[in-house]
Structure 1
Amino acid sequence: MDSMIMRRWRGAVRATDADAYLAHQSATGVRDYRSTPGNRGVFVLTRAFDDLVEVVTLSLWDSMEDVRRFAGEHPEVAVFYPGDDDLLVEKDVHVDHFEVPEHALDPSLLA
């Protein structure tokens, strides 16, 4: 394996909805990432700004084929779930994908 794929999505919620959104995301998208073959991990990052909390989700994949297994034939389009629109006040509909060179990977992820 020469590289892996990092998938990046971003959204934001009201600070008062942050805990509810993170629980919802864990039960939907994060669960689906982790149950898709080829997924090597999911990281959910948060940071507060003004009265919002930005949420960035990074997922690590063996290949773009594995990303498509999760996201479908248009992996650059974000996957949303029922209930997302109740909590998200900002949401990127585009997802970015980055190649992660093998030398930059933690060897435990390759096992």
Structure 2
Amino acid sequence: MIARIWHGKTKLEHYEEYTDFMKSRAIPDYEKTEGFVKLTFLRRIEGDVAHFNLITFWKNIEVIKNFAGNTYETAKYYPEDEKYLLEFEEKVTHYEVFAE
């Protein structure tokens, strides 16, 4: 199993709104992708910035390509992200899961 980790930041004022967006738009997109296993969505506030970490779990690298395309190490963004995110990190990180 492979873990795919993404990080994003919003203004504090968008904390709940971006959470709702992720629940309604991004999470269903992950869940409908063949090979998706599960996810963990984390958030925290640091001063006036909200941090979001999304850890998705996939059967293998090949099925991640079903979601992200052949350039699977590049972060996938939605058009709506431009309204919320303070920056667009280019890469995600992948780890092989060897124990749970």
TM over 0.5: yes
Structure 1 or 2: more helix by fraction: 1
Alignment of 1:71-90 (within 5 A): 71-90=68-87
Alignment of 1:63-74 (within 5 A): 63-74=60-71
Of 59, 62, 68, the match for 1:62: 59
Task: Tell me the residue number matched to 2:34.
Answer: 37
The higher radius of gyration belongs to: 1
Q: CA RMSD in A?
A: 0.9
Please report the TM-score for the alignment, with normalisation by the length of structure 2. Answer: 0.94
% identical equivalent positions: 30
Partner SS for 2:86: strand
Task: Tell me the residue number matched to 2:7.
Answer: 10
- Residue identity opposite 2:58 in structure 1: W
For structure 1, list consecutive stretches of 5 or more residues without a partner in the other structure. 106-111
For structure 2, list consecutive stretches of 5 or more residues without a partner in the other structure. none
1:42-101 deviation line (CA, Å, top 9, x unaligned) = 111011101011000000000001100000010000111111011111331201100001
Runs of 4+ in 1 over 3 A off after TM superposition: none
